[in-house]
Structure 1
């Protein structure tokens, strides 16, 4: 087994926006992945366009207001002009942008896939290493609990995971895992094999 393995979380859609529609009273808007740009002399305004899930009416979420194009940089400005999907997703997942616009993102609406090599606890127990490490790729943050994610990737029950947490078998960024931890991109999860063995002999 490799000393470092990759766990990747791939969102398959952007989060819905919790906002009441003025036309049909629905409370959800989806990201259109398109931008609106308005020029005011030498300054520009940029919005990310959302549409009501029911009637398709629009809501524009402010990204930049009265900013000079050169301050954005040519590359980023062109991506706004081209409705670049990657940039649209970046802002659609931004909790900071939603707070500035006084709206709430519905992270529970995000669906995702987890890409990982199937490595069981038994495989880890049979490893020659003292520590087995997993690096997390999570480019879009949608408030996912790390404990739930670890349980899925290790294919263990919630009861067994609780035992591992209590015994301080799993650490994240050199701090022991607890249930309140949220997943962050580039997180490093480490499993102490000696501690793991001590727990599993009692199960």
Structure 2
């Protein structure tokens, strides 16, 4: 069985929200990574707090509304109470939460880094097909082509050459420009064709 190389995509920040501020001319809010909780008798409301990027005006994004307190898992309730950052990020990236609040995220505001083995080290192997698994716990609309260019060390033009040679499979299908990554996606690349494109058709690793 061939080795699976890992491409780990790590977001550096949560996405801004596209929302007009009613206190200034800004149209973006950032996640404050804190929760607001309000209990009334046996029910509880929980929000994730956002602030305007200019004037710090607040917007509370609803997570739970008039929910029975006992229906919340104790561990989750504790994380809300302690303003757990990881939990805040999970909801900030959640498409379901945004849909419920009828609000859109600005994914272009998300900065990220990708941890991967330099392709020069991998191309020396005798494997005919190079297999990569993408690890990306948060969905922020990142295109597969952007990940491939970074991890394979290719320009957009070189990647186009590779796809025209039918050398890249994404989820077992030919790579397309519209493809966006999900956690656990598998990418397969024809090693010989990659060497030719990567090394300017010389077939040798420099």
* TM-score normalised by structure 1 residue count: 0.90
Q: Count residues with an aligned counterpart.
A: 200
Q: Secondary structure at the match of 2:119?
A: coil
8 Å contact from structure 1 (residues 167, 199) kept in 2: no
Preserved CA contact (<8 Å) 2:154 2:198 = no
> 2:64 aligns to what?
64
Is 1:73 paired with 2:51?
Answer: no
Paired with 1:128 and 1:57, the residues of 2 have a C-alpha distance of: 58
**Per-residue CA shift, 1:65-109, capped at 9, x if unaligned?**
111233221111111111000010011111221121111111101
Superposition pairs of residues 3-42 of structure 1, within 5 angstroms: 3-42=3-42
Aligned to 2:174: 176
CA distance in 2, matches of 1:115, 1:148: 14
Which 4+ residue blocks in structure 1 deviate beyond 2 angstroms? 69-72, 192-203
**What's the offset of the Cα at 1:55?**
1.1
The superposition leaves residues 146-175 of structure 1 with CA deviations (integer Å, 9 ceiling, x where unpaired) of 011101111012111112112221112222
Query: Match of 1:187?
Result: 185
- Whether the 8 Å CA contact 1:3–1:131 is kept in 2: the answer is no
Partner residue of 1:53?
A: 53
- Give the one of 147, 150, 154 matched to 2:148: 150
For 1:151 and 1:202, locate their aligned partners in 2 and report how far apart those are by CA, in whole Å.
16
Q: The residue matched to 1:24 in structure 2 has which SS?
A: coil
Q: What are the superposed Cα offsets for residues 118-149 of structure 1, whole Å, 9 maximum, x if unpaired?
A: 113x842x422222111111111110100111
Find the aligned partners of 1:57 and 1:200 in 2 and give their Cα distance: 50
Distance 1:35 1:87 in 2: 10
d(CA) in 1 for partners of 2:122 and 2:138?
30
Segments of 5+ residues of structure 2 without an aligned counterpart are 202-206
Q: Which runs of 5+ in 1 are unaligned?
A: none
* Alignment partner, residue 94 of structure 1: 94
Matched residue, 1:139: 137
Judged with a 3 Å threshold, the aligned counterparts in structure 2 of structure 1 residues 199 and 56 are, in CA distance, closer, same or farther, namely: closer
**1:105 match:** 105
